[in-house]
Amino acid sequence: MSVTEEHQSQLSDKLRHNLEKGLHDVQAKWTVPTAFLNDPEVHDVERERVFGRSWVYLAHESEIAKPGDYVVRYIAEDQFIVTRGEDGNVRAHLNSCRHRGMQICRAEMGNASHFRCPYHGWTYNNGGKLVGVPAGKEGYDNKLEKADWNLRSIPQLDTYKGMIFGCLDPHAESLSDYLGDFKFYLDIVMDRSDAGMEVVGAPQRWIVDANWKLGSDNFVGDAYHTMMTHRSMVELGMAPPDPMFALYGEHVHTEHGHGIGIIGPPPGIPLPEFMGMPDNIIDEMKARLKPEQVEIFRPNNFIHGNVFPNLSIGNFMVSKDHVSAPTAFLTLRLWHPLGPGKMEVYSFFLVEKDAPDWFKEEGYKTYLHTFGISGAFEQDDAENWRSITRVLAGQFARKGDLNYQMGRGALTPDPDWPGPGVAYPMDYAEANQRNFLEYWMELMLEDRPVSDKPSEAHRSPNGAQGNGKVEALAGTKETVEA
């Protein structure tokens, strides 16, 4: 649903019934209807009610480090030029000329001081201002008010620890409030270095014939699949030798559908502390993080998580092949929906800017071998998601339920967990997935009008963190010190 539309999509009686039943069942029976994973109406509605209301990850500040740098990113169908202006401000403009709607930026990334529409030549600077109109005297008698026809800015834009998020809802809560307690866990992976994190290279991108929610579901809490899906990695010596290695962790979720799994080494299998990070990063991390965050990270082997709706985190220590020692790396994955049964995957490799070159090189190679576009783990997961989406497209298949009952009657929250959220003392659980789907269903059922008009009470808060400034709203001069 475009940001230009001010009406709200209506739910059919059938979809509303399925959502109400699903919300009841996920809370009471710990089951979820199969109909949500490959349905055209679900896709149409969630574009507005989920992606139109949530804070969605767009880019990392290191991707647009210099004035004029830009990338093109998406929230559902809406396409934005995320750029750093000559003034150092980070902005996101709808990639559409105000004259006839033509796409003005045809490259996915680069550096430009101006963007010129290839249709009629209207030209905008990288701050979004209309600065040139061909035949302005002849066609408009020099009376066109250019200031009224600047590029449209995203309603809300903010950053956290270098991550740039956008929101199409000008009335949505602040990014800081949206992330809430989950910031505690984001800090563990994104705030270990005094120099900050950087994205290395362009993101790898590929299309998978699968519903986007399967990627989020997998990363938000599914440690259980590793025993079977990735068993070959154990047999090849690229993962810990215990096939149930992902059992030994903590399973944590917070408000707004966010969740994370933090997995330590299996019993009797020694691994280096802090994932074998370089000494300088460990020293900086101990100074930057809270003591409880340091202790959570100390015995870590794998971290998997998801920021609702579609930003997943993987901080893993695995081997790139059967003869190499395990190496840690960090990847962010964005599951961009292209339809009810198709998504584009954006896969980013991040590393601490001040890490030694050997660590950056080994981490990147390990990422490529395991979770890159042809990575061994990645291929395992994609095949599962394609199969699920294909099978559940059938008429009879859509009328069933999926079991999310792991831990029912067996697991209780961990009273000794030092971090926020609801935590369970074993990562073979499905509370995170239920939390994710429950929030998704709540958003899908929420009836309220949609408007582009900004609310003073909901302007981008002082939680922006990064380099320069982040411009908050279209048509205003307000900026947020970052």
The model's pLDDT over 95-139, given as tens digits with 9 standing for 90+, comes to 999 999 999 999 999 999 999 999 999 999 999 999 999 999 999
The model's pLDDT over 15-46, given as tens digits with 9 standing for 90+, comes to 999 999 999 999 999 999 999 999 999 999 99
Mean pLDDT calculated for residue range 382-386: 93
- pLDDT(240) > 90: no
pLDDT of residue 251: 97
- For residue 428, give the amino acid letter: Y
- Which one of 225-229, 307-311, 377-381 scores highest in mean pLDDT? 307-311
Nearest residue to 202 via CA among 62, 84, 87, 89: 62
Nearest residue to 170 via CA among 152, 156, 157, 151: 156
- pLDDT(473) > 50: no
How far is CA 302 from its chain centroid?
18
353 with 360: CB under 8 angstroms?
no
352 with 193: CB under 8 angstroms?
yes
CA 323/CA 317 separation, integer angstroms: 15
Nearest residue to 300 via CA among 316, 285, 282: 316
- pLDDT(175) > 60: yes
CA 177/CA 160 separation, integer angstroms: 11
Tell me, what DSSP letter sits at residue 457?
Answer: G
pLDDT of residue 236: 77
Say what the pTM is: 0.92
Mean pLDDT calculated for residue range 412-423: 97
